Structure 1
Amino acid sequence: MDPFSFASSEALELPLNVKIVRLEGEQTQIPFSTLIKRPDLRHIGSNISPHSDLYLTVQLWADSKPLTVPVRTPYKPFKNERKWGNWLTLPVTFNTLPLTAQLAITVWDVSPAGGDGAQGHSIPFGGTTFPLFDKENTLQKGRQLCHLHRRKAADGLAGTSTPSSLPTRRSEKNGKSENGLVDKEQEEAERLEKLLKKHEMGEIPRVEWLDQLVFRNIEKQNILSSSPSARSLQNRRSKTDGDITTLDGEVEADIENEVFTLHIELPRFDFPVVFSDHEYPPPPISSMQHLSSSQNNILKPPPVVYFGPGVDGKGEDGSFGGRLVRIYDPEVGSRDNPAETKHRRLVRGHRTGAMDRDLRPNARFRDELNQIVGSPPTHALSPDEKDLIWKFRHHLTKDKRALTKFVKSVNWQDNSEARQAVQLLSKWTEIDVDDALELLGPSFDNSDVRAYAVDRLRKSDDDELLLYLLQLVQALKFEHKTPNSSDEPKADSSLAQFLIARAAKSFMLGNYFHWYLMVECDDKSPGQPPQYRKLFAKVEYDFMIELEKTPTGKETRKVLLRQAEFVAVISKISLEISAKGGPTIAKKAERAKQFLMDPKNELINIDPPLPLPLDPSILISGVYPEETAVFKSSLSPLKMAFRTSSGRHYPIIFKTGDDLRQDQLVIQIITLMDQLLRKENLDLKLSPYKILATGATAGAVQFVPSSSLAAISTKHRSSGQPPILTYLRTHNPDATAPLGVRKEAMDTYVKSCAGYCVITYLLGVGDRHLDNLLLAPSGHFFHADFGYILGRDPKPFAPLMKLGSEMADGMGGQQDENWARFKEYAFTAYAALRKQSGLVLNLFGLMVDANIPDIRAEPERVVEKVMERFMLEMSEEEAIRGFERIIEDSVGAIFPVVIDRLHGIVQHFRT
């Protein structure tokens, strides 16, 4: 089923077209005696010939105002009927049409002598005004009949005098209509016209022989309804239309008898198009003050207008008929509440500053402060909490966790208060890296605060800095903006200078820093504003300048240039294979090998050895063409094996046409969590592979020899034993072990399953099926393909964790001791990562402006989604019990098994 049954006019970016089909009607010829008496009449073309040449003009109107210039039909001579068949294009699109839009269509006659309403040598033959939206606010489409008002030009006004459809006028007398005959003919013509529209739209089945008979009868009916003999009965109608130019009594009667109908045609659409207006953003807040985004009360809700009794409408006597207008005050959002300002000055009076140094909280205040300091980074401080932190700020300098809360409690618009806060930063005890990362987020724009956070990062070594480098590059977007350029962050900020200096000293950092910047510069999608591309290009330029100042900088620049050429060659080969490689996978693989063996590509022998951009610690000296393969996929990913300087093979997968930045982020977080767990002496054998996005739609992935659980299940299904257990027993046999699997391999499998189950749950990884769950012969279990994260999943009723029964069976079943060890590892890992939740949340907070699909979908809820899975509102014991329920629900879920079966069937038919 289609999820929608109508379309929105706002999404219709097509020009407005209207087809002028034909003009039907008979004109009563004026006697020659009248033409002799009236010389001005005999010069009008339609009075001389019943098929004289006419032309039309179409103009768009709305709210009694013209929106476009008139569009005119080309010249066309007529012989037997007035038929144009021309499409006219108006200079406006459907998505810009207002609800009151209507077409003012005027038919012009030739009259060299002029006349009423003449424009040059033309006078109005008739006019009609056609609304583009009906009473249900639906766009009109298909064939339309428009009544032509003789001798009038279409006015296009809101209360037009030339409507395209006339109401049925009945004069009730003894319960009958005086003109019953004509009304019945008109009603029959309207009924036939509606049926004809349904036939054209395919709602009525087509029967060729019967359709021809019906069409001929419809033509006869139209001729009958528009013939002068039938129209003569209309003379008895009340003359309510009026405004017919009176030439003389005889000519006026003839014009009243004439009924002309203009046939037009509008574009047809598969669905009804409903009017929807463009929602304009609210007016900007006054810029008289530079507001700190770290203040929680900046974006106040708009003031609510309350009307007094009898003011918001007409009074009881109906005397009040005026219109009330709400006036937008731009200072409402930028000015503090005067009462709150006065309160803050009293509480934070500078005369009490000396006394605050000796203040110590009592037991009640100490508990409140501990609760505030222990709250997650997303917690919004209330005014009372801010005042409490400010009051005991000197006491809190000993608590490194309290600095971020203190910065949030400062009113940075008060110069004296801001000066005190900056002086206090130097006295604060050294903060942790996670708090320093929070201070670099979008909520803190004070340059002194950000510089303080950068100073803390200077104490981190290169390995630690590499774990956060991806987020630190994104944090450049939040650097303090200059007053003269409020749209562009500063490229010479303390953070940018720090990253450039450290990257210039370490090739490992410089390699990744360079490629992170180049990907952002390469991203020209709508999700990446131009000012950000300009910012990253300036930082890259400054990085290259800084490299020149170092002793090995010139060599480093040459290496980065060779890497860029290397990636360009591989990208070109990958694109060629994907577009023109051949009809089969074998043909594509053969063509890829030819490209790699071509000496012009300089991939057979790479001299001197080149640091691989994916992993600069690997020096590659050539490629093995015979090991090249192409995967079965719409993008035809290319697998290549490189020869390293140490002589071993290093296989990678290169993709073009796919944005790998989301996968790169997930692998970076997995690597970070692996390091955090190792610090807790918990090695879960995660061994995450490497991913590097080399462009907005290209990137490289380290290839790990492994098999998917789907392939393992298919291959070992007939063994009568759990497929995963059979696979592990095949590659790691040990007859003395309990399950016939070598102890180290089973231990690796159990630990890696526990680690990946916890991490993929915390990151909300979705679209999990047996094809992207991989198992290496050594027992390392891992996930691949992170196209859905943060709780998004294309499958219905997806579990919070992918833990199938086949994975448990690979451990010997839920009754085996391996399953108990699995749960123990999972609980320990979850508890350990909960203690480091602040670091993980701050890293995602730095990514809110990243052009990554699942972050861009709801950037304001990114941190909240991750925080929900940490269950920080619970105690550790309650959180672990809740996590245990998630494991039990996941391993016993039935619906994921059905989805996996369906997925396997689909993949089988694809291959």
Structure 2
Amino acid sequence: SCLIQGRQKVPFWPTEMNNNKIISSMYGFNERALAGINPDRSYPTIELEFPSYKYQIATLQPRNGLAMQAQTKNEQLLRSCAFQDDLEETGENIIQSDFYDWLRSIEFELTEQSRVELWDRRYECMRVPESLPRWLKCVKWSNRDDVLEAYKIIENWPTKNIDPLMTALELLDVDYPDPFVRFSAVRLLDTRIDDDRLLPVILQIVQAVKNEPYHDSALARFLLRRSLLNQQVGHYFYWHSRAELKNPQYKVRYGLLLEAYLRYCGEYVEDLGRQVRSVDKLIYIAEIIQNSTHDELYNQKGYLAHVLTREGYTQNLQYFRSPVDYNIELGQLVLDHCRIMSSARRPLWLRWTNGSEYAEHYFPTFDLIFKNGDDLRQDMLALQFIQMIDIIWKADGLDLSLLPYGCLATDNCSGLIEVVKNAKTIMNIQKLGGLKGQFQFDASALYRWIAKNNPGADKLKSAIDLFTRSCAGYCVITYVLGVADRHPDNIMVNERGQLFHIDFGHILGNFKMKYGIRRERTQLVLIDDFVRVIINNNSTEKNPIETREFKNFKKLCIKGYRILRRQYRQIVCLFKLMMNCDLTELNSEADMAYLRQTFAIDIGANEQEACDRFEQVLLESYRSSVKTRVDWVFHALNHIKS
């Protein structure tokens, strides 16, 4: 990096407004602490003049040796705190234990008084290794001696017993701009995290590049190195970075990264070229269809086939690797199964044959939905969050059979969605039960559909178990994540009995309103149709809540919720790294306040109190399921009208 010289024009960042009041933050008016100047020249600008020199003056990147310049006083104490075994139970140590519990607590909040205490007890903090990100917030970064002391402590901080991935992600947040801190985070990733653990969070790591003060950073070099060494990592790095090229604030940074990657990725650049040409053609086709008249769309299937078979189109839409899933090779388009969907943006449902030479041992076809005009980055975030929750639960011995299907935003207004095989929406399943099922008068349609697809006592028992676990998992997820717009077209079940949710356009408690009234009056969906399957259609019991099967379902829900609450810091970290995406429902700290509510942190509840509160929400959602059914009746009526 080079020292700025001469006259520079610096446009201001816009202020954040809420109810015509200016919202300030710890970053001033730059709410999200964006690196660099505002590229929008329409805002007020100031002109600064810096001293000019004969030569360019470059700064050196921080290295490990920089930390060793720190003062050596208290070095013995520092080392003893880093490596000392468990303390003896004395009165003083009990007080220290309270201090350590506070450092670990999810209710941790930093005040001016606690900042001073954390700095004074900085060596003791090393006995709680996972507290490093919290401790760094107490450092006075404007004081050179304190900064050097902090560097020394970071170098000696014990990292053996911490989660290196989550610690690194926290340190790559916008709250930690210091280059040496960020270098230490990247070092954790590079030395402790393999590619298998890196892939589920590659989206957040690519977004963290926005928080770097300079284009050339340790994180950028790490991403390039891993992408060039592993083609699968490179695949997702490329597409997540390419989605940011239309963002004027970051297009230069990501453009430089992509140029460096494409120059050295070898033959894979040809694969990426075919994928990009295919996506560009799909965007062009989608725009043609969106601008078509009703007369032209009278025979939608024939019209789409005509557009897809135009000269130059078919060649670019066949035999390329799926952008959504690196492991899938798409073959020929199956025109008979391609169609225009009925929603406002007229998405395209497309089917390809399996282009792999081992196709006979796998699925013969793959279906993808292409959307143009919709921002799929929020859906992608929600599905990646579900994938991470699945990893967290399985690491704790809990398998709730989640189904995070593939979704990729190719830019900020288009993308591809994987179609789950052999699955139907709840709406379509209820339609099979006739008007009674469609208008919520028959709660057994779902059970009969699952039983029909799983004949025999053993298969049906397995399907019900799968439904119970997956329903429990998505009850917890939709509650914690605040997923809204849960109508019967946004919940699906496959033939094996596995339930899953789709369409995450509204999250974090942004529930839809109609005439000032919230359309969804329960915090999660648990209707009679679901409970009928969970209790195996056992109608002999007067109250389904008292059945053994429902109690087991409730235990699964509470256990899943308890595990997630313990991982609150990790969940917040994953969301916070996405704040610079300019998503409508996630662009400031205030948008994440919903997570504090769902985990009962805002009211200071302990773990058991929070679990009891969630249990009440679960039971109340079932008791009030008639409200959900009324909403679904109106949805069915609107569907018939359209």
Separation of aligned partners in 2, 1:404 and 1:281: 26
The structure-2 alpha-carbon separation of the partners of 1:409 and 1:278, relative to structure 1 and needing over 3 Å to count, comes to closer
Q: CA-to-partner distance for each residue in 1:736-793, whole Å, 9 max, x for gaps?
A: 46xxx61111111111101111111111001111121111111111111111100011
Q: 1:800 matched to which residue of 2? A: 523
Q: Distance in 2 between matches of 1:818 and 1:508?
A: 42
Question: Deviations 1:194-219 (Å, cap 9, x if unpaired)?
Answer: xxxxxxxxxxxxxxxxxxxxxxxxxx
| Alpha-carbon distance in 2 for matches of 1:285, 1:605 | 47
Among 371, 377, 388, the residue aligned to 2:117:
388
**Matched residue type, 2:556:** Y
User: Is 1:724 matched with 2:446?
Assistant: yes
Superposition pairs for residues 400-799 of structure 1, below 5 Å? 400-430=129-159, 431-432=162-163, 433-458=165-190, 459-480=192-213, 490-523=214-247, 530-545=248-263, 548=264, 553-580=265-292, 582-583=294-295, 587-598=299-310, 600-603=312-315, 606=318, 609-644=319-354, 645=356, 646-647=358-359, 648-704=364-420, 705-717=422-434, 722-734=444-456, 736=457, 742-795=460-513, 796=518, 798-799=521-522
- Aligned pair partner of 2:627 in 886, 895, 907: 895
**Counterpart-to-counterpart distance in 2, 1:800 and 1:715:** 28
Instruction: Name the aligned partner's letter for residue 451 of structure 2.
Output: R
Deviations 1:131-159 (A, max 9, x none): xxxxxxxxxxxxxxxxxxxxxxxxxxxxx
Instruction: Check whether the contact 2:281–2:316 (CA below 8 A) recurs between aligned residues.
Output: no
Cα distance in 1 for partners of 2:317, 2:582 equals 37
Change (3 A) 1:577 1:725: same
Whole-angstrom distance in 2 between the partners of 1:816 and 1:503: 52
Aligned CA distance change for structure 1 residues 501 and 576 (closer, same or farther; 3 Å): same
Residue-by-residue CA offset, 1:483-505 (whole Å, 9 max, x unaligned): xxxxxxx1111111111111121
Provide the C-alpha distance between the structure 2 equivalents of 1:393 and 1:279, rounded to a whole number of angstroms. 39
- 1:715, CA displacement in angstroms? 1.6
Is the CA contact (8 Å cut-off) linking 1:604 and 1:624 kept in structure 2? no
Moved more, 576-585 or 799-808: 576-585
Equivalence for 1:836: 567
Q: Deviations over 1:115-140 (max 9, x none)?
A: xxxxxxxxxxxxxxxxxxxxxxxxxx
**CA distance 1:285–1:447, change in 2 (3 Å):** closer
Q: Distance in 1 between matches of 2:315 and 2:444?
A: 44
5+ residue gaps, structure 1, are 1-276, 287-291, 294-348, 481-489, 524-529
Partner of 2:614: 883
Identity across matched positions, percent = 26
Check conservation: 2:281, 2:317, Cα contact below 8 A: no
Who is 2:6 aligned against? none
* CA deviation after TM superposition for structure 1 residue 898, in Å: 1.9
1:732 Cα offset (Å): 1.0
Q: Deviations over 1:148-191 (max 9, x none)?
A: xxxxxxxxxxxxxxxxxxxxxxxxxxxxxxxxxxxxxxxxxxxx
- Residues in 1 aligned to 2:295 and 2:204: alpha-carbon distance in whole angstroms: 42
Matched letter for residue 206 of structure 2 = V
- 1:667/1:779 CA distance change after superposition, 3 Å: same
Check 1:614–1:626 CA distance in 2 against 1; reply closer, same or farther (3 A cut): same
Distance in 2 of aligned mates of 1:448 and 1:363: 33
Cα deviation, residue 462, structure 1: 1.3
Q: Output the CA distance in 2 between the equivalents of 1:723 and 1:864.
A: 38
Q: Distance in 1 between matches of 2:569 and 2:109?
A: 15
In structure 2, C-alpha distance between the alignment counterparts of 1:624 and 1:494, rounded to whole Å: 45
Please tell me the residue identity of whatever aligns with 1:577: I
Query: In 2, Cα distance between the equivalents of 1:785 and 1:595?
Result: 27
Secondary structure (helix, strand or coil) at the match of 2:618 reads: helix
Aligned residues: 543
**1:598 to partner: Cα distance:** 3.9
SS in 2 for 1:409: coil
Cα 1:385–1:351 shift into 2, 3 Å: farther
Taking structure 2 as the reference length, the TM-score comes to 0.79
Residue-by-residue CA offset, 1:623-650 (whole Å, 9 max, x unaligned)? 1111112211111111111112133101
Partner of 1:258: none
* Native 8 Å contact 2:71 2:148 kept in 1: no
Larger of the two Rg values belongs to structure? 1
Deviation at 1:726, TM superposition (A): 0.9
Structure 1 residues 604 and 424: alpha-carbon distance in aligned structure 2, compared to 1, 3 A threshold: closer
Is the 1:581–1:588 contact (alpha carbons within 8 Å) kept by the matching residues of 2?
A: no
Aligned residue in 2 for 1:189: none
After superposition, what is the alpha-carbon deviation per residue over 1:456-509, rounded to whole angstroms, capped at 9, x for unaligned?
1112111211111111122122113xxxxxxxxx11111111111111211111
**What are structure 2's unaligned runs of at least 5 residues?**
1-18, 34-69, 82-86, 538-543
The 2-side partners of 1:721 and 1:436 are apart by 48
User: 1:775 aligns to what SS in structure 2?
Assistant: strand
CA distance in 1, matches of 2:370, 2:205: 26
Partner of 2:37: none
Give the letter aligned to residue 325 of structure 2: D
Cα pair 1:603 1:623 within 8 Å, conserved: no
Partners of 1:616 and 1:581 lie apart in 2 by 37
Change (3 A) 1:515 1:581: farther
> Helix, strand or coil: the match of 1:895?
helix
d(CA) in 1 for partners of 2:294 and 2:305?
Answer: 13
- Given that residues 685 and 748 in structure 1 are in contact (C-alpha distance below 8 angstroms), is that contact kept between their aligned partners in structure 2? yes
- Judged with a 3 Å threshold, the aligned counterparts in structure 2 of structure 1 residues 744 and 278 are, in CA distance, closer, same or farther, namely closer
Q: Which has the higher contact order (CA 8 A, sep 6+)?
A: 2
Separation (CA, whole Å) in 1 of partners of 2:470 and 2:521: 22
1:904 aligns with 2:628: no
Match of 1:615, SS state, is: coil
**C-alpha RMSD of the superposition:** 2.8
Distance 1:598-1:426 versus aligned 2 partners, 3 A rule: same
Aligned-partner residue type, residue 535 of structure 1? R
1:379 shift after superposition: 4.1
Q: Secondary structure, in 3 states, of the residue corresponding to 1:572?
A: helix
- Deviation per residue, 1:298-319 (Å, 9 max, x gap): xxxxxxxxxxxxxxxxxxxxxx
Q: How big is the shift at 1:586?
A: 6.1
Q: Distance in 2 between matches of 1:367 and 1:874?
A: 21
Given that residues 278 and 317 in structure 2 are in contact (C-alpha distance below 8 angstroms), is that contact kept between their aligned partners in structure 1?
A: no
CA distance in structure 2 between the aligned counterparts of 1:351 and 1:386, rounded to whole angstroms: 22
* Residues 605 and 731 (structure 1), Cα distance of their counterparts in 2 relative to 1, 3 Å cut: same
Deviation at 1:673, TM superposition (A): 0.7
